[in-house]
């Protein structure tokens, strides 16, 4: 059930990339600027990005960009690098990305901020609500998850061109068997989170 689906000026927030051993973490803030955003009419059901195929996510992202151009929505994605994650930790990195994405929207006209899981916005954002499995329950969060996932995956596919021996285009930084084998053979890249790989070295 979408409790807040009809609310104009709702902001949804979700993160992608908490668990990979390589690449950035990404946090997206998605802003409903119009209550006439007809997401239910789109031929692909709106779901958490992890439950959509790559083709489905890309199709949603194209539609979101159309809505953005029409002034019906806006979004901001912030990615924090592996080196920063190693320096400050994954949780502080996510908080930093979340704050930057919210401030990056450059809007004071919102009624409510909805956040997935255990995420919390900075204290100055008064009207906020954290929802467990929010990416499965609220459109604003689901759309944020899609924007974050597509943006991060595209970044990792671009990085795959620089480091072709690691097949980042396939696993986008997650710890697959093939990925670990590539690390053992070729070593680490600047994309790898060394603090996530301490048992290997």
Whose tokens are 């990925």? That residue is 179
Task: Sort strands 112-116 and 10-16 into parallel, antiparallel or unpaired.
Answer: parallel
Q: What is the pLDDT of residues 3-21, one digit of tens each?
A: 555 566 789 999 999 999 9
The pLDDT of residue 5: 54
pTM for the predicted model, two decimal places: 0.93
Residues of the chain short of pLDDT 50, as ranges, are 1-2
Domains and CATH numbers, the chain: 10-196 (3.30.420.10)
The values of phi and psi at residue 5, to 5°, are -65, -25
Q: Look at residues 89, 99, 93 and name the one whose alpha carbon lies nearest to residue 80.
A: 93
Token pair recorded at residue 89: 């930790």
CA dist., res. 161 & res. 30, Å (int): 29
Q: From its phi and psi, is residue 133 left (phi > 0), alpha (psi between -120 and 50) or beta?
A: left
What is each CA distance from 121 to 77, 89, 102, 118, in whole angstroms?
15, 18, 8, 10
Q: Where are the alpha helices (DSSP H) in the chain?
A: 54-69, 82-88, 90-104, 139-162, 168-171, 177-186
Angle between helices 139-162 and 54-69 (to 10 degrees): 110
- Return the C-alpha torsion angle 35, 107, 148, 38, nearest 10: 10
The pLDDT of residue 151: 98
Q: Look at residues 125, 81, 118 and name the one whose alpha carbon lies nearest to residue 103.
A: 125
CA dist., res. 169 & res. 167, Å (int): 5
Q: What burial letters (b/e) apply to 152-161, b meaning 16+ CB within 10 Å?
A: bbebbeebbe
The pLDDT of residue 73: 92
């Amino acid at each position: 059930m979408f409790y807040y689906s009809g609310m104009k000026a709702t902001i949804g927030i979700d993160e992608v990339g908490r668990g990979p051993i390589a690449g950035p973490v990404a946090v997206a803030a998605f802003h409903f600027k119009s209550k006439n955003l007809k997401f239910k009419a789109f031929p692909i059901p709106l779901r958490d990005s992890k439950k959509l195929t790559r083709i489905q996510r890309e199709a949603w992202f194209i539609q979101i960009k159309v809505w953005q151009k029409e002034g019906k929505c806006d979004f901001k994605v912030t990615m924090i690098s592996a080196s920063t994650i190693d320096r400050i930790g994954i949780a502080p990195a996510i908080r930093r990305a979340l704050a930057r994405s919210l401030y990056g929207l450059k809007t004071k006209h919102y009624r409510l901020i909805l956040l997935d899981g255990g995420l919390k916005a900075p204290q100055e954002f008064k009207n906020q609500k954290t929802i467990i499995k929010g990416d499965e329950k609220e459109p604003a969060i689901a759309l944020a998850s899609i924007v974050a996932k597509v943006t991060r995956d595209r970044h990792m596919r671009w990085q795959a061109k620089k480091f072709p021996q690691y097949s980042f285009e396939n696993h986008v930084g997650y710890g697959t068997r093939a990925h670990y084998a590539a690390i053992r053979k070729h070593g680490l890249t600047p994309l790898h989170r060394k603090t996530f790989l301490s048992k290997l070295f």
